[in-house]
Structure 1
């Protein structure tokens, strides 16, 4: 069973955290909510996991209304909040047993669901959760969220602050869980993780900018993107922003991503312009658009 959100808004006095949000998550879909900090992702997760009531609009999870059937929903979903929220002084084994007991089940009953994850932390099962690494805390939290075999899994920025290897491992685990008939809604500020989702919703300032597959979002980008670097990144950005034909300019790793307003673009003309602005070691090459480029274009 999936998720349905229809015209949901959430206000905190004068602050509009969510503004008329609507989308559907199909059964067994891995759906990503992509956006920066403060975009409204956590507020939406709290509404869908029945921790907050929407100011307006309706939402359902696994066919159940989040307001009228909140108790039933809590038994059918797994929730992994952005901040590690397990008991720091309990061991791995004790945390897992505690959450199994709360949901009226046992570790053995649903062990097949968590086995692939749990075997990675089992050697440390007697270690207090507070003394685990970021990646191990992440795996323990996921095990606790799955121990009652939920129909829908909510993961709010699960890889924030985790090392790159653990991040990659985590998404491999999510793909495996998806094959076990679990609907997954995951939020992340990392654009590279968005490509792992079946579909994504780009969100900013409490509004959905667009919903589509990662491939379709990238394909819709209307301009050619160029990677540009030089000896002085700050001066490079300021010079490109002052260029009369610039369409967009923003940092992208070790490069600046640049697009031009003209259909015909001369790399040599731009290079000469930058050299006249006291820049050297200039590198300009066409590159592929990314989800981040699409997000920046929509946000602009």
Structure 2
């Protein structure tokens, strides 16, 4: 195996038992996470699941209360400062100065990283993200998609080996989202590792692998097909003009774990095949309702997972959840 191939097989993130508590509640509760170099890993979960807290621990901004491991070969606990210099972190909210131009913002970030040739670094970042013609424009006047490009350029200006992106495409249009993901895969092809949190299923499908977290705990991991197969869900699709009216009654039926609308159809999912068949079989006799088997998709699986997870913000929850 040559050096490049060996690097691609190495782990950019390798942490075990990662834990963070606030007020006695575990926001992140014993998370194990491994991501190979040059891979795009999707980090999924509902709001308050612990994704942001996990990302902040990985990039050295938060100190874990427990856990061990390495990021880019550096010890998570001892080498937080060194990790920060090799990681690009893109926050959920646009974090640059809106009253500065694109170039001024990038120059400011280059100063923070004490880059030797700031002008060249800024020029390269502008060119890489297609920002050169807009470099004099104030950041506050940019659309969501262009702000996203600027934020990514700021993440890349110091040539990091790992990108941690926290819901980077929230609030941008579909074309900007597609362009962004094309850029992400170009970076991964160059050996940069990417951990990206998202709520969009179409984005999850573009990741090499996925990790699903809820209430601070990892519930599923693997490729899309591995996660769907491991869930063991049986799914029936209800279609026709009478299907929508059956949603609420089905949610209370034995064996039904989730009922989700997909356009004019309903996906009814559960792990007990016999009980699920009993729930949907009578509906096939009703006028305006067509019942057929369907393959589970990621959204079916994740809705089912969150339905099974314990809400640790509830009255009886023993643990805690955070963003």
User: What is the TM-score normalised by the length of structure 1?
Assistant: 0.88
Q: 2:143 aligns with which of 130, 133, 140?
A: 133
Q: 1:282 aligns with which of 282, 285, 289?
A: 289
Q: 1:262 aligns with which of 257, 269, 274?
A: 274
Aligned to 1:298: 305
SS at match of 2:177: helix
1:60-99 to 2 correspondences below 5 Å:
60-99=70-109
Cα displacement string for residues 201-241 of structure 1 (whole angstroms, at most 9, x for unaligned residues)? 11000000121111211233423423324557764211223
Distance 1:143 1:216 in 2: 33
Query: What is the Cα deviation at residue 15 of structure 1?
Result: 2.3
Aligned to 1:25: 35
Query: What is the Cα deviation at residue 110 of structure 1?
Result: 7.6
Shift in alpha-carbon separation, 1:129–1:113, aligned structure 2, 3 A: closer
Distance 1:281 1:108 in 2: 65
Answer whether contact 1:249 1:256 (CA < 8 A) is retained: no
Answer whether contact 1:6 1:59 (CA < 8 A) is retained: yes
Distance 2:72 2:252 in 1: 52
Structure 2, unmatched stretches of 5+, are 1-10, 309-323
Aligned to 2:14: 4
**Worse overlay, 233-242 or 168-177:** 233-242
Aligned to 2:284: 271
1:200-239 to 2 correspondences below 5 Å:
200-229=210-239, 231=241, 235-239=245-249
Distance 2:81 2:304 in 1: 41
The answer to whether 1:185 aligns with 2:195 is yes
Aligned length: 291
Q: 2:259 aligns with which of 250, 263, 266?
A: 250
Moved over 6 A (4+): none
Answer whether contact 1:114 1:143 (CA < 8 A) is retained: yes
Query: What is the Cα deviation at residue 47 of structure 1?
Result: 0.7
SS at match of 1:215: helix
Query: What is the Cα deviation at residue 164 of structure 1?
Result: 1.6
Shift in alpha-carbon separation, 1:232–1:97, aligned structure 2, 3 A: farther
The answer to whether 1:196 aligns with 2:211 is no
Answer whether contact 2:269 2:300 (CA < 8 A) is retained: no
Cα displacement string for residues 12-32 of structure 1 (whole angstroms, at most 9, x for unaligned residues)? 013210110112111112111
Shift in alpha-carbon separation, 1:109–1:90, aligned structure 2, 3 A: closer
Distance 1:233 1:264 in 2: 16
Cα displacement string for residues 234-292 of structure 1 (whole angstroms, at most 9, x for unaligned residues)? 64211223445x433322332321136329959773232xx4xxxx6434443332112
Query: What is the alpha-carbon root mean square deviation over aligned residues?
Result: 2.4
User: What is the TM-score normalised by the length of structure 2?
Assistant: 0.82
Answer whether contact 2:44 2:212 (CA < 8 A) is retained: yes
